[in-house]
Amino acid sequence: MARKYREIGKAGWGYTAITSVVGFIYFFPVFWIILTAFKTRTDALAVPPKLFFTPTLENFQSVFFRASITTGTSQATDMGLYFFNSIFIAFTSVGLALIVGTLAAYAFSRYPLKGNDTYLFIILTTRMMPPIVVIIPIFLMFRLSGLAGSYWGIILLYTAFNIPFSVWLVKSFFDELNPEIEDAARMDGATERRVFFNFCIPQILAGLSATFVFGLILTWNEFLFALLLTGVETRTVPVAMARTLGGEVGVDYGLLAAIVTLFLIPIFFVTFLLQNQLLRGVTFGTVKK
């Protein structure tokens, strides 16, 4: 028996070591970006790369206030507005997609129609197409409707592209619920609205959290639609980052690293707040009771 426990312990340590190595490999690029954000321009371009250096906050200051090449005076970069745009557009569109997707997923799960799988597949096909395939007709529609450069235009577009993902993911969570509990609630006089909000939604909160995080990450990193369909006042951070590349002084890797570091904070914060729900959501339904 003791030998068996020792073998289990060795296997556990081996699994932990492999997981740690793989995790380090995946996280190292992020670690290096964060490290570069605190380097001067000379340290960022040093060969061989410097692991030990004197940190500076100059890059973070340059994100929001940058010296003009011609006048030498400090000027605002509007990056604060771009961060607000990214947060507002991403959270609003994902929230709307989650609301619509949850209602649709409940209907598909509890009231399947004839050809239910066909309808679900048609919904999913809208997410299969690469953005570059549909950008031209969408751009023309935005110009004709006056939505180009507006908040609600890009929000509605992101919502439309996130709804298929939300419908499919949330439907899988509804399918894992026991319908007998809902039937018992209906027999006790509960309305359909009460069954949905009081019995179904509380049981899939973890799944909704996982869907929200995944949808937020997809929207947060989107570039093509934001590049072509937003205006100066509605520009997001990925588009603003692309505009910082090049220039008369070349690529400022420390500045780009500082922007990326700040850009990662909201996602890390949301994931940290929802980590317990997220873990339950991604494993929802894997263990049958």
Quick one: pLDDT at residue 180?
86
SS3 249: coil
Quick one: pLDDT at residue 1?
54
Pick the CATH number of 80-287 from 3.30.460.80, 3.40.50.300, 1.10.3720.10, 1.10.10.10: 1.10.3720.10
Q: Do 254 and 37 meet the contact criterion of CB atoms below 8 Å apart?
A: yes
Please say if the pLDDT value at position 7 is more than 80: no
For residues 115 and 107, give the distance between their C-alpha atoms in angstroms, rounded to a whole number.
Answer: 14
Q: Do 102 and 166 meet the contact criterion of CB atoms below 8 Å apart?
A: yes
Sequence spans of domains, the chain: 14-61, 80-287
Indicate the pLDDT class of residue 289, thresholds 50, 70 and 90.
very low
Q: What is the mean pLDDT of residues 13-18?
A: 75
For residues 289 and 17, give the distance between their C-alpha atoms in angstroms, rounded to a whole number.
Answer: 32
For residues 101 and 84, give the distance between their C-alpha atoms in angstroms, rounded to a whole number.
Answer: 25
For residues 117 and 123, give the distance between their C-alpha atoms in angstroms, rounded to a whole number.
Answer: 10
Q: Do 245 and 227 meet the contact criterion of CB atoms below 8 Å apart?
A: no
**pLDDT tens figures, 133-166:** 889 999 999 999 989 889 999 999 999 999 998 9
User: How distant, in Å, are the alpha carbons of 25, 54, 77, 126 from that of 257?
Assistant: 19, 16, 16, 34
